[in-house]
Amino acid sequence: MLRRSAAKKNLIYGTTISAGQIAGDPPFVDLVLQQAGAVVAENDMKWRVMNRGARDEDNYRPADTVADFAHENDLTLRGHNLLWYQSTPSWFFDLSSRQEMAGAIVDRITALAGRYRGRVHSWDVVNEPIGPEDGRPDGLRTGVFLEMFGPDYLDLAYRTAREADPNARLVVNEYGLELDAPEQEARRAALLKLIERMQRANVPVDAVGIQAHLSCAGGPPFSAARLRRFLSQVAGLGLTIQITELDVTDENAPADQAVRDRLVADTYARFLDAALDEAAVKMVMTWGLSDRHSWIVRRETNESKWRVDSSPSRPLPFDADLKPKPAFEAIAQAFANAPERQPG
């Protein structure tokens, strides 16, 4: 059981879930309850998912289903996410002033984080704020929030979240931080700069979320030493670290299933061995538990991650029949190898 092997080291292990799965896939839910100590809504708490129509027509039902599921089963709940450039309702873009936009952001954060106040372990407050490719000296992603407020939109979001739920850990969640490539180095540098700026301005921020959407072959190399250095830089700023969306694509691996499963498992092992070496890493979430429910298998990722043959991807610790794969053993072993953390 991944939950138990993690807990022995005072680590939390968890997975995504959805209201649809909770209602419609009891065998999968049993597996989640057996393996996971934490859950996060894959999509049900995203702004545009909750609000597809007019401004005052939020639908909290799927989000409540996930929050209640966590509560009833004594699972740690991650909140994902309060603000994300990719999941902003369309009416937001039509607001005519900065002030109206600020009001909408404050309303959104106050309503959602306030609704689950005291029940959420950590909130991804702003998801994916980094974008050095946009060319700004501070490496922040441009877009509606940045254009209207400058970097201050982050201050507004984190301060509002702290007020709405003072006990939730406030996380900056980001992708493309894991590998040894110049683009990722630029993303790491920009993230560190952002955290330092927030701290100077007394903006509350508690943790960095490392998404870790990895690939088992092809792409830039992985350097354990480089990742370790970055994680210790984050820890040096006084923040904890969560691995928030771990999964492994196999788009460049051979078709042979056993070979592929081995490559995927080895990728989990290499990454987790390096990451868990840093004591500030307190939590590991995989972005799904079984290949039955994965955004990769559903081809919701960027097309470059799709397999070109017709065999479905096998990115997660359990296969589509809910049977454990080598990746499951690799994750369990990584937890067993991990140094014990301070409780809490």
Give contact residues for ligand XIL (rule: CB under 6 A). Answer: 42-43, 127, 211, 245, 295, 300
Q: How far is the CB of 170 from ligand XIL (least distance, A)?
A: 16
Neighbours of 78 (CB within 10 A): 29
Rounded Cα distance, 193 and 254, in Å: 40
Q: What is the DSSP string of 74-128?
A: T-EEEEEEEEEGGG--GGGGG--SHHHHHHHHHHHHHHHHHHTTTT-SEEEEEE-
Q: How far is the CB of 84 from ligand XIL (least distance, A)?
A: 7
Residues with Cβ within 8 Å of 310's Cβ and at least 6 positions away in sequence, in order, are: none
Residue 15 bridge partners (DSSP): 39, 286
- In this complex, which beta carbon is closest to ligand XIL, that of residue 5 or of residue 16? 16
- In this complex, which beta carbon is closest to ligand XIL, that of residue 158 or of residue 335? 158
- In this complex, which beta carbon is closest to ligand XIL, that of residue 240 or of residue 294? 294
- In this complex, which beta carbon is closest to ligand XIL, that of residue 47 or of residue 295? 295
Q: How far is the CB of 127 from ligand XIL (least distance, A)?
A: 5
- In this complex, which beta carbon is closest to ligand XIL, that of residue 279 or of residue 289? 289
Tell me, what DSSP letter sits at residue 285?
E
Residue 246 bridge partners (DSSP): 286
- In this complex, which beta carbon is closest to ligand XIL, that of residue 132 or of residue 326? 132
Neighbours of 220 (CB within 10 A): 14
- In this complex, which beta carbon is closest to ligand XIL, that of residue 230 or of residue 295? 295
Q: How far is the CB of 172 from ligand XIL (least distance, A)?
A: 12
> Please, are residues 3 and 13 in contact by the beta-carbon 8 Å criterion?
yes
Neighbours of 10 (CB within 10 A): 14
Q: How far is the CB of 288 from ligand XIL (least distance, A)?
A: 8
Rounded Cα distance, 221 and 184, in Å: 11
Residue 318 bridge partners (DSSP): 290, 324
Residue with tokens 């994300």: 84
Q: How far is the CB of 145 from ligand XIL (least distance, A)?
A: 16
Q: Which residue is nearest to ligand XIL (CB)?
A: 295
- In this complex, which beta carbon is closest to ligand XIL, that of residue 268 or of residue 287? 287
Residue with tokens 């039509």: 94
- In this complex, which beta carbon is closest to ligand XIL, that of residue 5 or of residue 51? 51
Q: How far is the CB of 70 from ligand XIL (least distance, A)?
A: 17
Q: How far is the CB of 32 from ligand XIL (least distance, A)?
A: 16
Rounded Cα distance, 66 and 134, in Å: 35
Q: How far is the CB of 43 from ligand XIL (least distance, A)?
A: 5
**3-state SS of 194-254?**
HHHHHHHCCCCCCEEEECCEEECCCCCCCCHHHHHHHHHHHHHCCCEEEEEEEEEECCCCC
